[in-house]
Structure 1
Amino acid sequence: MRIRLILLAYFFLSQTLAFAQTILSGKVLDEKNKPLPGVNVFIKGSFDGTSTDVAGTFRFETTESGTKILVFSMLGFESQEVKVELAGGELTIPALTLREEFNELNTVTISAGAMEASDEKKSVILRPLDIVTTPSANGDIIGAFQTLPGTSTVGNDGRLFVRGGDASEVGIYIDGLKVANSYGTTAANVPTRNRFNPNLFKGTFFSTGGYSAEYGQALSSALAMNTKDVAARSQGDLSVLSVGAGYSHTLANDKQSISLSGNILDLAPYQAMVKQNFEWERAPHGWDLEIAGQTKLKKGGMLKVLARTEGGGMELWQALPGVEGKGVLVNLKNSYSYAQSNWRKAYDNGWSLFSGASYSHNRDQIRYDSAEIDRGNDLSHLKFTAVKDFSGRVSAKSGAELFIHSYSERMVRAELSRSFDDQEGYLFTEWDWYLSRKFVLRGGLRAGHSTLAKDTWLDPRGSLAYQVSENGTLSLAAGRFHQLPVDNFRVLNLELQNSQSKHLILNYLLQKEGLTFRAETFYKSYEGLVLFEGNPQSPSLLQNGGEGFAKGFDLFFRDRKSLKNTDYWITYSFVDSKRSYNQYVTEVQPDFAPKHNFSVVVKHFVTRLKSQIGASFSFNDGYTYTNPNFTGEMNSKTRSYQNLSLSWSYLPKPNLIIHGAVTNVLGSENIFGYNYSLTPDESGSYDSLPIQQSAPRFIVIGVFLTLSKDKNANMLNNL
């Protein structure tokens, strides 16, 4: 009897199982309709499944029943899910096509006009550490970028000049927010520096043209600097230099960090020991305080705040051609504040949101001989952006911005003043289409409106990239760019309109392990540049009547592989730039745009000495200027500019760095032009004085000590 019951139960169960079994079959293809072997095919939430064979087909049995999800997945392809009804028997799935999965690691990137400086990106030209250790930069962000293609070194200025454009044509941003007056205020022909410490940033994006629709109001270039996220550890950093000292303290945990830093600068002791070409009444001096905080929010996202305040000044005698004595006494005092906060978050549905606000305030008090000028500049920036990844192939970034801008000048003794207020609104959108892993298109629009200029404009921009070989990419970029005139011109004529530039750029980038080669050719046109009568100190009859062009090519080669413990890069740029602008009514080569620009940077680490030795050499073929003793505009040219700089960084202990650097080691007598007397002498000749460096060379020695629980931590660990 027991045996009969067992046989009956077995027979019943076997019939049930046979009835519940479903056989699934089908075929999987790629986008070219070719069989795709190795695809995992399985029922979601079960162990039933198989893989496709060499013909792309699959077949397997399952005891699952009802409505289920059939999953198709393979590395490098977008997974797909198909709803199926399992009711026994055989079920044939219609032929399915899997699409390639695109991401930053396996797709081509657009490199025309763009240079990343971030350890997080695939296409890296310079890293944050490179910016700090470039010998000629002396810790200045701009000094490091002057060794990159497309830039020109103007030694009596210190700002960033790009492809025949003036330094005012470069827009500078921190975390996507505009920074006004990002350079320290200085006297004529005394070079300035960027106000911000490179240790503050985790990376930078530098465009030599054709930049994103996200940025505007810059005819030449956009330099976007991104601050660090939450710090890795708590530590204190002490720096003592030959020109000042500073201390920074960071408190950090897994969720948040805050850093407070302060610095003092005074060149008086240094200038007392090193011969100067200028006669200083009071050497450049200053102080700054800075606070930066980062917080990871509970539901994801990041909140950052940054605030900085500083003050400083200088006083010197500026000699005048044809006039005996010291010349004119120039006294300059500057105060500056900058604050911003920004929030960003990425959502699981493909949306990424960003919002931020910043405020810049700059005040200059200038005494030039008997004249006293008080100058103020304020800029508020509100910004919101949204990025949507519709798929691995289509992504869009859109946003809105508002700028509130005020500027004022006051002649203190004469009790005269002038000012303006402007509100500028912008909308932008930019779309990326990945047509394949090797081919990407980008199109963008930026619309702007100025209440003061009473003008509305629209800038289309586009670019594309195609991977021509395993390591080589060809990119093309084009676009239109608008920029309102500089403040000291706008305040003289409130009806001045935008200047306009059009860019066309062709780029080839070759990158493999330890080697980078970049070649780029470009053409820029200019319309509506500001023209005036008189000289820049007292211009009159300002109007948008100037035009011009800039064309040329850049070459860049970097090698971190061939020579042991050695990293070097070589840059050459050719720029043919002519424009009618300012007081020049004919198209001339600007005094800030040398035709030939060459630089070499070499860094070698000597393990036995625990040292890094660096050298950099910069060269250009000279600067144009107008000699009134001859006819014509920009009719003369200085001899070539040359600067060899050396540096040595020694690590006696992991948390201690001793650094020394000297610029212009060979003492080249670099001349940047000439100042001429306003009237001729008795013989009919105009007297002149050369515009030269403030000193034959600059020497800096510094000691950097890090205090933390981790005795191996130092300032370089922050980069």
Structure 2
Amino acid sequence: MNKLLPYILFLFFLIPQLFAQTIIKGRITDKKGEALPGANVFIKGSYDGASSDAEGNFSFRTSRKDTATLAASFVGYENYAQKITLNNATLELTIQMQESMNVLNTVTITAGTFEASDSKKMVMLKPLDIVTTAGGGADITAVMQLLPGAQRVGEQEGLFVRGGSANETKTVIDGMIVQNPFFSSTPDVPQRGRFTPFMFKGTSFSTGGYSAQYGQALSSVLLLNTKDKTDDASGWNIGANLAGLGATYTHKGSISGSVYYTNLSPFFNLMKSNVLFDKAPQGINTSLTINENLTKNSSLKVYGTYSDSQSSMLFPSYDDAGTHYSFDLKNKNLFTNGTYQVNFDEGRWVLLTGLSYSHNTDRIKIGNDDGDRLDERTQARAVMTRLFGKNNASSVLFGAEFHAIRVGNIYNEYDFRLKDNYSAAFVETEVYLTPKLAGRFGMRTEYTSVISKANIAPRISLAYKTGQYSQVSLAAGQFYQTPEKNYLYLNQQLGYELANHLILNYQLIKNDRTFRIEGFKKDYKNLVLEHTNYYDPNPYRFPTGPTDNSGKGYAQGFDVFFRDKKSIKSGEFWLTYSFLDTERLFRNYQKATTPTFASKHNVSVVYKQFFEKIGTNVGVTFTHTSGRPNYDFATTSFTPEYTKPYQNVSLSASHIRTIKGNFIVFYATLDNVFARKNVFGYRYSGDGKQRFEVIPPMYRTFFIGLSMNLSKQMSKPKEADLDNL
């Protein structure tokens, strides 16, 4: 699907979650009655909660029913817990916290990681953050590209992190690798992700130095954990926009079914496109979610989705000026994911098991040539965690996983296929060495049958508390990845590629303001190098020369991040800057140089404002990326020619209204307001004598839609409800 298939899922799940049935408010103090600003208050087992203000006051809503446990935490104080009864009214409390003799549970491992899924840690991006970020298109990956360490590569989907290519980042849902997290790739037209943000509690985006629980990613993992069951609500949600129609029905908060029909013809009839479509992207997508608390100690989550889509585009022929060739794509994708979690011994032991299966087929016709792509993955995973220490702050976990992978590429008479049985085992412990020093130590071992090789990867992270609101963190480790399939089709004697990470981080979080600076060094070894007599910049080329693991490289630099949710009433602001210095000798490069997907400077500025009286949220995003290097066809000098800097200003707005007891969200976006003619790179004719610019599918896009919740049980949301999603 085209990257401009925005927002089909935008806010489809928003309305049912905006409204809560019980208001919980009050004040948090110490035993002397002094206010404790910035304390976390939340319902255990959910993500309903808030932070206290300068006077210690807090207020939030929850859709939980019957009894629940209200918890509170604050630096230097004992954790607080109290049983409460939720009765669809307003519950007002005064919480008095006791000062702790130790602060073991206040240090958090943060180097290389942005968390959004743990109410005791720094919250970075909730689902509502993602869908209200202008320029993100309600797409998880697109918004992640606005965070430190990542950058936008406008002609290809994926996360490019700290000098790493897109295939060096893996997407993980509930611990399971997603084989096809994006809609099927088309030449120079990036695709959006397959999953809506409202499926998940939040996001954990690792820019390096990540946990030993995960592997097969030289640069980064994007961790997505699906939501827990929190209520018994039932109802319909119906949405319509320029990309299609959709409907979702939820039954008692346990079973949810969705169907979406997509057709971009109305959108392309209104907007001028730089891509010629013989058939606009269209398709149908269905999904089923089961989320049930089997007992008070166990839960089951099952998610399945099936999509069938097709499109036909006309691309310029780089050999014959003025002529085009067709690229027809028919895609079928099936993905299922199930997890079972149980805790016992009063929660000190937790077992998480998972099963997943994905199957993706692409039927492709390029001009008169036929081609097929196949991806299939079956995986099983089990993790046992033991919590110990004061407040169960420390832990040790061990686990294992197995993947049966099958991939294939067919192009005319060429038929390439691979099978791989990949297995891994890991152990990791997080302990508090002193009241101010925490450590996480892990080890991972992997075996890949396609190359018949194993590895052992140690990982370590340390965090030291430097003040009441600040800390420094250090992370280091080894990260292995099996070579790309195009190389393995021709040579299965290759070994693992390797990246060594070293990350140093400082962060300060106070009064809803976050400041973070992080330096990093990444050394690449054993990269696949193709030995050819010339350089071909075509990113879709198939290897032609002999290959080995003699490639190498490095990436180093620093990131700065600042987020302020305090200074502007009902508004927030964040600023990101990343500096990158990187070189590589890999693929069919003839010498070590900066790869074409890397840019030295990346800046993002995001501002959001909520107007409670009119129920409207507006946002603006500015992004700047310095020029990326380009190397001429058959060059030996590798002297770079840089594209002009990429710049984009985007606007978004959403408005909530009540009509006959039903809630409707109207939303609109305007991307690349000033229609800047950005260039992402160049393509060449077969003889290298002609060069053509790679440009966005559209220079400016405008998009509108609505989402309606057919339920009369809810009341109009307030700013606090939106903020506490």
Match of 2:405 in 1: 405
Match of 1:511 in 2: 509
How far apart are residue 160 of structure 1 and its match? 1.1
Match of 1:551 in 2: 556
Contact between 2:590 and 2:636, CA under 8 Å: does it hold in 1?
Answer: no
Contact between 1:519 and 1:553, CA under 8 Å: does it hold in 2?
Answer: yes
Q: Distance in 2 between matches of 1:578 and 1:184?
A: 30
Match of 2:237 in 1: 237
Q: What does 1:293-692 correspond to in 2, within 5 Å? A: 293-298=290-295, 300-348=297-345, 350-392=348-390, 394-411=394-411, 413-414=412-413, 416-532=414-530, 533=532, 535=536, 536-540=540-544, 541-628=546-633, 632-633=637-638, 635-653=640-658, 655-679=663-687, 686-692=689-695
TM norm structure 1: 0.82
Contact between 2:583 and 2:593, CA under 8 Å: does it hold in 1?
Answer: yes
Comparing 459-468 and 526-535, the one that deviates more? 526-535
How far apart are residue 227 of structure 1 and its match? 0.6
User: Cα–Cα, structure 1 residues 429 and 102, in superposed 2: closer, same or farther, change >3 Å?
Assistant: farther
User: Cα–Cα, structure 1 residues 463 and 325, in superposed 2: closer, same or farther, change >3 Å?
Assistant: same
The one-character-per-residue Cα deviations of 1:330-374 (angstroms, maximum 9, x if unpaired) are 111111111011111222251111111101111111111221112
> Which amino acid is the alignment partner of residue 396 of structure 2?
A
Contact between 2:473 and 2:504, CA under 8 Å: does it hold in 1?
Answer: yes
How far apart are residue 691 of structure 1 and its match? 0.4
How far apart are residue 181 of structure 1 and its match? 1.2
Contact between 1:152 and 1:592, CA under 8 Å: does it hold in 2?
Answer: no
Match of 2:213 in 1: 214
Q: Distance in 2 between matches of 1:237 and 1:231?
A: 18
How far apart are residue 701 of structure 1 and its match? 0.5
Contact between 1:77 and 1:101, CA under 8 Å: does it hold in 2?
Answer: no
Q: Distance in 2 between matches of 1:629 and 1:378?
A: 36
SS in 1 for 2:106: coil
SS in 1 for 2:239: strand
Q: Distance in 2 between matches of 1:520 and 1:204?
A: 19
Match of 1:8 in 2: none
- What is the root-mean-square deviation of aligned Cα atoms in Å? 2.2
Match of 2:271 in 1: 274
How far apart are residue 712 of structure 1 and its match? 2.5
Contact between 2:103 and 2:436, CA under 8 Å: does it hold in 1?
Answer: no
User: Cα–Cα, structure 1 residues 650 and 450, in superposed 2: closer, same or farther, change >3 Å?
Assistant: same
Q: Distance in 2 between matches of 1:359 and 1:287?
A: 20
Contact between 2:172 and 2:178, CA under 8 Å: does it hold in 1?
Answer: yes
Match of 1:91 in 2: none
Q: What does 1:35-184 correspond to in 2, within 5 Å? A: 76=78, 106-118=105-117, 120-184=119-183
Q: Distance in 1 between matches of 2:300 and 2:722?
A: 25
Q: Distance in 1 between matches of 2:290 and 2:395?
A: 30
SS in 1 for 2:674: coil
> Which amino acid is the alignment partner of residue 666 of structure 1?
F
Choose between structure 1 and 2 for higher RCO, CA contacts under 8 A separated by at least 6 residues: 2
User: Cα–Cα, structure 1 residues 322 and 376, in superposed 2: closer, same or farther, change >3 Å?
Assistant: closer
Q: Distance in 2 between matches of 1:340 and 1:652?
A: 36
> Which amino acid is the alignment partner of residue 154 of structure 1?
V
> Which amino acid is the alignment partner of residue 398 of structure 2?
S
User: Cα–Cα, structure 1 residues 718 and 437, in superposed 2: closer, same or farther, change >3 Å?
Assistant: closer
How far apart are residue 307 of structure 1 and its match? 0.4
> Which amino acid is the alignment partner of residue 453 of structure 1?
I
Q: Distance in 1 between matches of 2:705 and 2:441?
A: 47
Match of 1:16 in 2: none
Q: Distance in 2 between matches of 1:309 and 1:397?
A: 34
> Which amino acid is the alignment partner of residue 568 of structure 1?
F
How far apart are residue 668 of structure 1 and its match? 0.6
How far apart are residue 657 of structure 1 and its match? 0.8
How far apart are residue 278 of structure 1 and its match? 1.4
> Which amino acid is the alignment partner of residue 382 of structure 1?
A
Contact between 1:295 and 1:304, CA under 8 Å: does it hold in 2?
Answer: yes
SS in 2 for 1:245: strand
User: Cα–Cα, structure 1 residues 614 and 299, in superposed 2: closer, same or farther, change >3 Å?
Assistant: closer
The one-character-per-residue Cα deviations of 1:466-518 (angstroms, maximum 9, x if unpaired) are 11011001000000000012223322222222100000000001101210011
SS in 2 for 1:586: coil
SS in 1 for 2:116: strand
Contact between 1:365 and 1:373, CA under 8 Å: does it hold in 2?
Answer: yes
> Which amino acid is the alignment partner of residue 677 of structure 1?
S
Larger Rg: 1
Q: Distance in 2 between matches of 1:75 and 1:597?
A: 39
Contact between 2:77 and 2:100, CA under 8 Å: does it hold in 1?
Answer: no
SS in 1 for 2:272: coil
Question: Residue 288 of structure 1 is aligned with which of 282, 285, 288?
Answer: 285
User: Cα–Cα, structure 1 residues 712 and 543, in superposed 2: closer, same or farther, change >3 Å?
Assistant: farther
Q: Distance in 1 between matches of 2:214 and 2:583?
A: 25
Comparing 401-410 and 545-554, the one that deviates more? 401-410
- Structure 1, unaligned stretches of length 5 or more? 1-73, 79-97, 681-685
The one-character-per-residue Cα deviations of 1:3-36 (angstroms, maximum 9, x if unpaired) are xxxxxxxxxxxxxxxxxxxxxxxxxxxxxxxxxx
Q: Distance in 2 between matches of 1:111 and 1:360?
A: 32
User: Cα–Cα, structure 1 residues 700 and 437, in superposed 2: closer, same or farther, change >3 Å?
Assistant: farther
Match of 2:704 in 1: 701
Q: Distance in 2 between matches of 1:718 and 1:159?
A: 29
Comparing 262-271 and 707-716, the one that deviates more? 707-716
> Which amino acid is the alignment partner of residue 538 of structure 1?
F
Structure 1 residue 190 corresponds to structure 2 residue 195 = no
> Which amino acid is the alignment partner of residue 714 of structure 2?
K
User: Cα–Cα, structure 1 residues 695 and 634, in superposed 2: closer, same or farther, change >3 Å?
Assistant: farther
Match of 1:67 in 2: none
User: Cα–Cα, structure 1 residues 379 and 102, in superposed 2: closer, same or farther, change >3 Å?
Assistant: farther
TM norm structure 2: 0.82
Q: Distance in 1 between matches of 2:542 and 2:144?
A: 33
Match of 2:226 in 1: 227
Contact between 2:125 and 2:202, CA under 8 Å: does it hold in 1?
Answer: no
User: Cα–Cα, structure 1 residues 716 and 372, in superposed 2: closer, same or farther, change >3 Å?
Assistant: farther
How far apart are residue 436 of structure 1 and its match? 2.9
Q: Distance in 2 between matches of 1:508 and 1:563?
A: 25
How far apart are residue 539 of structure 1 and its match? 1.1
SS in 2 for 1:470: coil
How far apart are residue 609 of structure 1 and its match? 3.0
Q: Distance in 2 between matches of 1:400 and 1:494?
A: 25
- Structure 2, unaligned stretches of length 5 or more? 1-75, 81-98
Contact between 1:294 and 1:304, CA under 8 Å: does it hold in 2?
Answer: yes
SS in 1 for 2:665: strand
Q: Distance in 2 between matches of 1:170 and 1:634?
A: 28
The one-character-per-residue Cα deviations of 1:33-74 (angstroms, maximum 9, x if unpaired) are xxxxxxxxxxxxxxxxxxxxxxxxxxxxxxxxxxxxxxxxx9
Q: Distance in 2 between matches of 1:634 and 1:334?
A: 39
